[in-house]
Amino acid sequence: MERLRSSPLHANISTALDKHLESIHMVQARRKDEIVSASSRQRHGPPRCQDERVVLALAAALRALCLATRKVRTVLWCAFQMTLPK
C-alpha cells in the first residue's frame, strides 16, 4: 500500500500489525504449553490446578488475538481507503 501511495502510512498501522503478529505468536506458545500439559497429564495423572492455569492462559491469549484482529482489520481498511485514488 505504501508503494501505491508513494508515501509512508501512519505509524499506527505498522504498530497494529506488529501487535497482531505478537498475539499470534502468543497463542501459538500457549497452545504448545497446553499440548505439553495434556501429554504429561496422560502419563502422570491429572493435576487439575495446573491444567486450569494453562487453559486460562490460552483463553486470555485468544481474547488478545481477537481484539488485535479487530483492530488490524480496521486499520487495514483505513489504509486501503487512503490508498484508493480520489
Q: Does some domain include residue 14?
A: yes
Please count the structural domains in the chain: 1
26-79 pLDDT, tens digit each: 999 999 998 888 877 666 655 556 678 899 999 999 999 999 999 999 999 998
With CA atoms as reference, report the closest residue to 51 among 28, 31, 34.
34
pTM for this model (two decimals): 0.80
Q: Does some domain include residue 33?
A: yes
Q: Does some domain include residue 45?
A: yes
What would the mean pLDDT of 4-14 be, rounded to a whole number?
79
* Alpha-helix residue ranges (DSSP H) falling in the chain: 2-5, 11-44, 48-83
Question: Which residues form the domain of 47?
Answer: 10-81
